A and B are shown apart, each in its own frame.
Chain A
Amino acid sequence: MAFESLSDKFQNIFKNMRRKGKLTEDDVKAALKEVKMALLEADVSFKVVKTLMKSIQEKATGQDVLNGLNPGQMVIKIVNDEMTALMGSEAAELKLKGGSDVTVLMMMGLQGAGKTTTCAKLAAKLKSRGRRPLIAACDIYRPAAIKQLQVSAQKVNIPVFEMGTDVKPPQIAEEAVRYARENGYNVLLLDTAGRLQIDEEMMEELQEIRRKVEVDQTILVVDAMTGQEAVNVATAFEEKIGIDGVILTKLDGDTRGGAALSVRAVCGKPILFVGMGEKPEDLEQFYPDRMSSRILGMGDVLSLIEKAQESFDENRAKEMEKKLRKASFGFDDYLDSMSQMKKMGGMSSILKMLPGMGGSQMAQIEDQIDESQMARTEAIILSMTPKERSNPDLLNQSRKIRIAKGAGVDISEVNKLVKQFDQARKLMKQFGGGMPGKRKGGFKLPFGGGGLF
């Protein structure tokens, strides 16, 4: 009984519309009623939904929709545009000072939103962009919070400034700024304790930090699964402290991120990053247009292509395409594409960005993908000689036995791989190459899912 996500919902609504070809006014009304329910189920704030429905109603009941050639597409476009507009029409960047000036970022939010984890990830991201980040441990309340920060930061090689649990956070922040200046760090992240927005004393502590040190940006960390409460949280932090940016965490769950829409609409501050997983590189840039199209169920094809391009060497891609066309694709190329895949965050994270990949389909496919199997496959290929890799037809029984021994697997696994590889090559000939994902639904599992991935 898979959770029917917002994206599935929208797809069902508009599937029916497409079939009709032309929309009546009643259709629009009925659709918007469904859209409203879907948005509420996705935890978009009630107020935001109301506003959104009103503006869509006004536009959709106009003749544009009724006279449009493709009414379904027209409605998708209007809903999409409105949602994108609500989330801020373009991607926002984190503003940092130049040179050796210390930019102070204060992370804040409720308990369990993911501040500490996000701190380490964000610091790692800034470091990879050539910054020199330092994190200050300002959570002196939760048991082992400092230890957690130290361990997380150590994993990504970021230093932590801490003064134990006896010094008050504003003082720690003050000392941390001094320490950062003296030691040549140019970004300071303050990891503050989780707090309820109605806890006056704790909110006062954040204000005190702001008075003691010059905080350049305050960043609210919000759990993407937050319900109607998201509005209250954002409003309170905005009123009492002021929010300069938002980071949305745990978006790799099956929530459709209704909170993104709510927080952005209510406090009007940009969402800077979204947390898509456990690894530092899973802290991704937030793109309002893509987010809304993802909510709408169009998949995040744009993001997929961009992500692929980032880690894909274009020349190599061209070369591979040529090989695919000629079907001279060997095990080496396969190994290559496997490592590209890994760079992009594994098969499942790519699939998630494709259109129509709602919760239910994902679950089915994840059944077929065993990412640990990839390591075994890799071992088998690495046990082949370069000649064997480029010319798989060479593989006879004695070679296979040698490879199996080398990889420490049973010969049947080698046989299975070779067989599937042959099938894949045949398939590729049929495809005739080309990059996947350009066309809706055009992406096929090139290796038939099964044992290879």
Chain B
Amino acid sequence: MEEEKKEKKGFFRRLKDGLSKTRSSIISGFDNVFTAYSEIDDDFYEEIEEILIIGDVGIKATTNIIDDLKEKVNDQRIRDPQKCRELLMESIKNEMSVGEADYEFENRKSVVLVVGVNGVGKTTSIGKLAGILKDQGKSVILAAADTFRAAAGEQLTEWANRAGVPIISGQEGSDPGSIVYDAIASAKSKDADVLIIDTAGRLHNKKNLMNELGKINRIIDREYPEAFRETLVVLDGTTGQNALSQAREFQAVTPVSGIILTKLDGTAKGGIAAAIHSELGIPVKYIGVGETIEDLQKFDADAFVKALFDTGEES
């Protein structure tokens, strides 16, 4: 219990730190609105809407949130804008609830397939994830199936060395399928707990590249059917609404089970997480809030919304 509490706090603090900029723009915005208006009118709603959109929450989710808020305000006959703070938090939470995200792959013999467009931070996230799992005492194998980008294999090897886990890789330009095949054989023979597969960045509208991913997926199904499957789409936190399109298209060729949202340590608004939950119902499982291994954090929607709204000192 004590342990858990500590971990939670650690998460909250990090998230708060990482999101400090997001907060200062979204929240100071919210608080300004809450205090600047003496009554709840169209302008009031419009300003909240504006803040959400600037936070990359997206049109659809924003509309849902505002509609939900309006309904609550009407139902509860609320007149004071200040009282909308709690309600708005609730509305955002509602919009984001996709049920408890599970991390069962951590406790099973599993294959984690990591996909995404170019430059979102796939390799870095995998390096961090491998480090975390290794620290938990799991045996981890990495597969460098990005044979396309120059030196991608070297980059992952560097991470593998840092985490102290073995890596299966091949020549640049070689068939990623064959690397996946070899990696599965290796995972089986070494009885590894988790096999994490890095794939080449691909734009989700390139049909051939997406088909290649489908092929990798089929190889895993065929060669390692007993493994627990986890497929994570890595999305760049600075990406706008296109992130939805990306998640959707990857979902079409692989059994996407979760999202890693990276680069949330800038001024990027975590708002896209709300849009993803709202429109696609895929849980965000991890967020990247910094450069170190500990900066890959499990995502907690409640804490996320709370952190978004938190302005005071929390200890």
Residue pair B266, A110 in contact (C-beta under 8 Å): yes
CB-defined interface of A87-114 with B at 8 Å, one 1/0 digit per residue?
A: 0000000000000000000000011111
Q: Could you say which of B32-40, B150-158, B223-231 contacts chain A?
A: B150-158
A124-150: CB near B (< 8 Å → 1, else 0) gives 000000000000000000111101111
Contact B238–A144 (Cβ < 8 Å):
no
Interchain nearest-CB distance for A420 vs B (Å): 22
B203 touches A253 (CB 8 A): yes
At the interface, yes or no: B50 with Cβ under 8 Å from chain A?
yes
Cα-based distance from A227 to B249 in the complex (angstroms): 19
- Residues in A336-392 with C-beta less than 8 Å from chain B: 359, 362-363, 366-367, 371
Q: Is the CB of A151 within 8 A of B150?
A: yes
Binary CB contact string for chain B from 154 to 166 against chain A (1 if under 8 A, 0 otherwise): 1101110000000
Contacts of B268 in A (CB 8 A): 227, 229
- Interface contact A148-B149, CB-CB below 8 Å: yes
B266 contacts which of A196, A253, A362 (Cβ < 8 Å)?
A196
**Which of B59, B155, B239 has the most C-beta atoms of chain A within 10 angstroms of its own C-beta?**
B239
A147 near B154 with CB under 8 A, answer yes
Known A196-B266, A228-B53, A254-B204: A259·B240 in contact at CB below 8 Å = yes
Judge whether A363 and B59 touch: CB under 8 Å: no
**Residue of A3, A46, A111, A359 touching B263 (CB-CB under 8 A):** A111
Residues 1-53 (chain B) with a chain A CB within 8 angstroms: 21, 50, 53
What is the minimal beta-carbon distance from B209 to any residue of chain A, in angstroms?
10
Bound-state Cα–Cα, A197 to B118, Å: 20
Q: Does B193 contact A (CB under 8 A)?
A: no
B259-296, CB < 8 A from A: 263, 265-269, 272
| A228-B239 in contact (CB<8A) | no
B119–A197 touching, CB < 8 Å? no
What number of residue pairs across chains A and B have CB atoms under 8 A from each other? 142
Does B205 make an interface contact (CB < 8 A)?
Answer: yes
A151 touches B238 (CB 8 A): no
Tell me the residues in window 27-60 of chain A with beta carbons closer than 8 Å to chain B beta carbons: 37, 40-43, 46
Q: Measured between C-beta atoms, what is the minimum distance from B201 to chain A in Å?
A: 9
Instruction: Indicate if B245 sits at the interface (CB-CB under 8 A).
Output: yes
- Known A-B contacts A112-B120, A223-B119, A227-B238; A40 and B59 likewise in contact (beta carbons under 8 Å): yes
Question: Cβ of A359 and Cβ of B205 under 8 Å apart?
Answer: yes
Say if the beta carbon of A232 comes within 8 Å of chain B.
Answer: yes
Determine the distance from Cα of A145 to Cα of B272 in the docked complex, in whole angstroms.
29
Query: Judging by beta carbons under 8 Å apart, are B207 and A366 in contact?
Result: yes
Q: Complex Cα distance A226/B268, Å? A: 10
Are the C-beta atoms of A112 and B248 separated by less than 8 Å? no
Residues of the B chain whose Cβ atoms lie less than 8 Å from the Cβ of A400: none
**What is the CB-to-nearest-CB distance from B278 to chain A, in angstroms, rounded to a whole number?**
14
Contact partners of A253 in chain B: CB under 8 A: 117, 203-205, 242
Within 8 A of B (CB), among A308-327: none
Residue of A155, A255, A366 most packed against chain B (CB within 10 A) = A255
- Provide the bound-state CA to CA distance between A196 and B18, in Å: 12
Q: How many residues of A contact B (CB 8 A)?
A: 49
A72 located at the interface, meaning its Cβ lies under 8 Å from any Cβ of chain B in the complex: no
**CB contact under 8 A between A112 and B242, given known A143-B159, A229-B268, A359-B205:** no
The answer, yes or no, to whether B185 is at the interface (CB within 8 Å) is no
Of B59, B120, B155, which is within 8 A of A41 by CB? Answer: B59
Q: Which residues of A contact B176 (CB under 8 A)?
A: none
Contacts of A198 in B (CB 8 A): 21, 266-267
Contact with B along A242-273 (1 / 0, CB 8 A): 00000000101111001100000000000000
Which B residues are in CB contact (< 8 Å) with A228? 53-56, 240, 269
Contact B242 A254 (CB under 8 A): yes
A152 on the interface (CB 8 Å rule)?
yes
**A142 surroundings in chain B (CB, below 8 A):** 155
Task: Pick from B236, B248, B269: contact of A3, CB below 8 A.
Answer: B248
Which B residue's beta carbon lies closest to that of A148? Answer: B151
Name the B residues within 8 Å of A155 (CB-CB).
150
Contacts of B182 in A (CB 8 A): none
Contacting residues, chain A, for B151 (C-beta < 8 A): 144-145, 147-148, 150-151
CB-defined contacts of B131 to chain A, threshold 8 Å: none
Complex contact B54–A3 (CB within 8 A):
no
- Complex CA distance for A152 and B118, rounded to whole angstroms: 15
Q: CA–CA, A371 to B239, complex, Å?
A: 30
Whether B204 lies near A227 (C-beta < 8 A) is no
Bitwise, B99-138 to A at CB < 8 A (1) or not (0) is: 0000000000000000001111100000000000000000
Q: Which residues of B contact A149 (CB under 8 A)?
A: 150
Contact of A151 among B54, B172, B208, B244 (CB under 8 A): B172
User: In the complex, A148→B149 CA distance in Å?
Assistant: 8
B205, A197: Cβ atoms closer than 8 Å:
no
Q: How far is the CA of A41 from the CA of B275 in the complex (A)?
A: 12
CB-nearest residue of chain B to A114: B119
- Given A40-B53, A40-B59, do A3 and B245 touch, yes or no (CB 8 Å)? yes
Q: How far is the CB of B34 from chain A (nearest CB, A)?
A: 20
* Interchain nearest-CB distance for B222 vs A (Å): 24
B205 touches A147 (CB 8 A): no
Interchain CB contact under 8 A, B240 and A112: no
Query: Does B58 have its Cβ within 8 Å of any Cβ on chain A?
Result: yes
B241 within 8 A of partner (CB): yes
Q: Does A173 contact B (CB under 8 A)?
A: no
Residues in A whose Cβ lies below 8 Å from that of B241? 41-43, 227
A144 touches B154 (CB 8 A): yes
Is A227 in contact with B121, judged by CB distance below 8 angstroms? no
**How far, in Å, is B264 (CB) from chain A's closest CB?**
10
Give residues in B with beta carbon < 8 Å to A: 21, 50, 53-56, 58-59, 117-121, 149-152, 154-155, 157-159, 172, 203-208, 236, 238-245, 248-249, 263, 265-269, 272
- Extra inter-chain contacts (20) besides given A43-B240, A250-B118, CB under 8 Å: A1-B248, A3-B248, A113-B119, A143-B158, A147-B154, A148-B154, A150-B150, A152-B150, A223-B119, A223-B238, A225-B239, A226-B238, A226-B240, A227-B239, A227-B269, A229-B238, A232-B267, A250-B117, A252-B206, A363-B205
Chain A residues with CB under 8 Å of chain B are 1, 3, 37, 40-43, 46, 110-114, 142-145, 147-152, 155, 196-198, 223, 225-230, 232-233, 250, 252-255, 258-259, 359, 362-363, 366-367, 371
Going nearest first, the 6 A-B pairs with the smallest beta carbon separation are A227-B240, A112-B119, A43-B240, A151-B150, A143-B158, A148-B151
